[in-house]
Amino acid sequence: MIARSSLPLTIAGLILFAGCTQPQAADPAQDPAQSPPPAKSAALAADERQILIAYSTAYEYAKAVKTAANPEAKMSAFVRAESNYRKVLDLDPNHIDARLRLGGLYWEMEQFDEAEAEYDAVLALEPENKSALDGKAQLLTRGGGYEEAIELYRKQIDDDPNNIEARRRLAQLLENEEELLDAAQEYEAVFASDPTDASMAFKIGMLYQREEEWERSIPTLTAAVDLTPNDFEFNERLAIAYRRTDDLPMAVQVYDRLIVLDGTNAMAHSRKGQCLMALGDLKGAAGSLEECVRLDPENLGAMHRCSIAYVKMGNLEAAEKMVRRGLAVDGNDAQLHASYGEIHESHGDRAMTKYNESKCRRQADAVNRHYRKALAEYRQAAADAQVGAFASGKVEVVNAKMIAEEDLFFANPDC
């Protein structure tokens, strides 16, 4: 808690009152601007002397409270500090510094009601006193009076928009109350006061991401990465923001940076592969996903996506090899069975092209054999939450592709 320090003046006052020689004043007749101050009464001077002595004594004992070696020494120093601050306030009830420091002393001793009473007394004298407002707000926060604490912090900020400490504490309180967007805006002001604080920039970006404000998270995450280019997590969250805003080329750039930082990170290769696939770079996608599988041999999701890339490229042999590899890890994985269905369907489509050219019975049998295998795989995947709808739709599509028995009757048996 911040309060103006009177210690240097206190010590100087004690020295003067102890009898040290004061500097000789200039002759008022020679310098009209210098005139002696009005004489103080002996009683007033004595009170001021007592205030100075009590204040400095209390200050020293208050420091001893913080450095005490054991609870007994701490309590002894507290009693002496409290007694001397009370002596100051008996002589001058409006002594702001003494009340603030006494409030801080009570806080140190966990006498929170007494601390709040001192802050209230200060606010009655100075309604805009920053230290008292801050202390009262922290006490309210500690006691669960969040709404009133928030209002006190907002009052401080309304009075002084550059009160960064009030903004920081308000942001922390808003974050605790899950008012994340409001917290982020307060942290934005804190970051603006120190734009070299990469951790603060990252915190702001994460608050926006928690609210799925992906676009708003990009500037501060970019700032965090610019300040700390080699931080893996900073780059990872920025890449996610670009993916969620469909800025896939930028996402690929950040994933490339992640791979430079840690080439063994399977996730970075997998996410890069997904972005490349969405961009239509199937060869690049397959390469990234293959590398992911090499680094993480049980990553079934990467195997599924890699097989799909190969299917779209027309490389059915590589696709089947990847699916078989995945099913060896988990023979019941629905995504891989859906992929296998696509592979068999593609084989059937190729056979259908040849059949339409030749009308060969043997080729027709091959068509239906591949489609039946595709149907079996799609049906196995149909109950899965991720690919079930896709697989069920494919069952209907493949059934419609099957060559009917009456058509097979006219196929050439001698081809």
Give residue-wise pLDDT tens across range 364-392.
999 999 999 999 999 999 999 999 999 99
The residues spanned by each domain of the chain are 8-15+46-126, 332-415
Return the number of other C-beta atoms located less than 10 Å from residue 259's C-beta: 16
- What does the buried/exposed string (b/e) look like for 277-310 if buried means 16 or more CB atoms within 10 Å of the residue's CB? beeebbebbbbbbbbbbebbeebbbbbbbbbbbb
pLDDT digits (tens, 9 = 90+) for 338-356: 999 999 999 999 999 998 9
On whether the CB atoms of residues 111 and 134 are closer than 8 A, the answer is: no
246, two tokens? 């469909």
Q: pLDDT at position 15, please?
A: 29
CATH code given to domain 8-15+46-126: 1.25.40.10
Say how far apart CA 64 and CA 62 lie, in whole Å.
5
Say how far apart CA 338 and CA 387 lie, in whole Å.
7
Q: pLDDT at position 176, please?
A: 85
Say how far apart CA 234 and CA 224 lie, in whole Å.
7
Task: Name residues whose C-beta falls within 8 Å of residue 327's C-beta, 6 or more positions apart in sequence.
Answer: 333, 336, 337, 340
pTM of the model: 0.69
Residue of higher predicted confidence among 61 and 138: 61
Residue with tokens 């001058």: 92
Q: pLDDT at position 107, please?
A: 86
251, two tokens? 């996402």
Going by C-alpha positions, the residue among 301, 257, 326, 250 that lies closest to residue 289 is 301
Q: Across all residues in the chain, what is the average pLDDT?
A: 88
Q: pLDDT at position 253, please?
A: 98
Q: pLDDT at position 149, please?
A: 87
pLDDT digits (tens, 9 = 90+) for 271-306: 999 999 999 999 999 999 999 999 999 999 999 999
Classify the C-alpha dihedral 260-264-270-276 as positive or negative.
Answer: positive
Mean pLDDT of 85-92: 94
Half-sphere exposure of 336 (CA within 13 A, CB side): 20
Say how far apart CA 339 and CA 346 lie, in whole Å.
11
Determine the length of the chain: 415
